[in-house]
Amino acid sequence: MIQIIPAIDLRDGAVVRLIQGDYARQVSYSCTPADAARHWRDLGAELIHVVDLDGARLGKPQESSLRALEAIVGATDAAIEWGGGIRNAMSARRALEAGASRVVLGTAAACDSDAAASMLSELAGRVVIGIDARDGRVAVKGWTQVLDLTAEDLARRMRAMGAQRFIYTDIAQDGMLTGPNTAALRAFCAAVDAPVIASGGVASASHISALAAQALPNLEGAIVGKALYDGATDYAGLVAAAGPPQGSPQEVSNA
């Protein structure tokens, strides 16, 4: 069964979405981050994925986003998965102290093996490795730079260092509402013997059904953003297609 994980993307502390990771193609929403989190929790979401887009591009969590994180935590008891600008243990601890249940390590995983190893050792299951790919190659620094490194090779490297969970994002699908790249996802899931969360492209219950039909034993969840905010789909319909959500706020918090 696939857990449906609503996303909240932040710029300047406000809720936005980027099309295919392009900072020049931004869609802004009128709800506050706390209101968005409260809405998804009221609908049953037990885990919410929050991204500091400014932090991802600038290399460290931004204060406006951290304040939004604190407001989100104050507004809901959902577990919060936080990413964007987590490049060292200090920034990871800052996000965890602000209330995140776990943090997503992206650029540092690809570009700073020592920092990644240190955080995986210190924080163990509270670190999720986020691997974003454009045409199969790893993209970093807010998707502004593509490396000569495949997503699968990076995943295997991080798994060998002790990574316990991964998020795989296909950038070409992100925000396009055309469905996930199931072929790329299958290859990624096959590369690691650890839970994987899919991100990018989900816009309907049929997309979730298609993911479930892949029968990937380590596909744990799917992050959904733009489709929910734009009304292309609804949370209840996605949950119905996926089966009941897994885990609980406390279980996720202690992952």
Length, in residues, of the chain: 255
User: How many angstroms separate the first and last alpha carbons of the chain?
Assistant: 18
Measured distance CA(84)–CA(193) in Å, rounded: 25
Catalytic residue among 9, 52, 54, 174: 9
Measured distance CA(216)–CA(230) in Å, rounded: 29
Q: Among residues of the chain, what percentage have pLDDT more than 90?
A: 75
| Mean pLDDT across 236-241 | 95
| Mean pLDDT across 184-213 | 94
- Sorting pLDDT into bands at 50, 70 and 90, what band is 247? very low
Paired with 137 in beta bridges are 134, 150
Please check the confidence at residue 255 and state whether its pLDDT lies above 50: no
Please check the confidence at residue 35 and state whether its pLDDT lies above 70: yes
| Mean pLDDT across 154-163 | 97
Q: In the prediction, which pLDDT does 203 show?
A: 87
Residue type for position 14: A
Catalytic residue among 54, 132, 170, 174: 132
**Catalytic residue flag (residue 77):** no
- What is the number of other CB atoms lying within 10 angstroms of the CB of residue 148? 6
Give me the chain's average pLDDT, please.
Answer: 90
Helical spans, DSSP H, in the chain = 33-42, 53-58, 63-75, 89-97, 107-111, 113-123, 151-160, 182-191, 205-213, 226-229, 235-242, 249-253
Q: What H or E segment, with its residue span, contains residue 137?
A: strand 137-140
- Sorting pLDDT into bands at 50, 70 and 90, what band is 200? confident
**Catalytic residue flag (residue 132):** yes
Please check the confidence at residue 18 and state whether its pLDDT lies above 90: no
- What is the number of other CB atoms lying within 10 angstroms of the CB of residue 130? 26
| Mean pLDDT across 215-226 | 94
Please give the radius of gyration of the chain, using alpha carbons only, rounded to the nearest integer: 16
Q: In the prediction, which pLDDT does 174 show?
A: 61
Measured distance CA(83)–CA(197) in Å, rounded: 14
More confident residue, 206 or 253: 206
Domains present along the chain, CATH in parentheses = 3-253 (3.20.20.70)
Q: Which two tokens stand for residue 69?
A: 């994180």
- Report pLDDT digits (tens) over 73-101: 999 999 999 999 999 999 999 999 999 99
Which of these ranges, 34-38, 108-112, 176-180, has the smallest mean pLDDT?
A: 176-180
DSSP state of 173: G
- Report pLDDT digits (tens) over 134-155: 989 999 887 789 999 999 999 9
- Sorting pLDDT into bands at 50, 70 and 90, what band is 177? low
- What is the number of other CB atoms lying within 10 angstroms of the CB of residue 63? 12
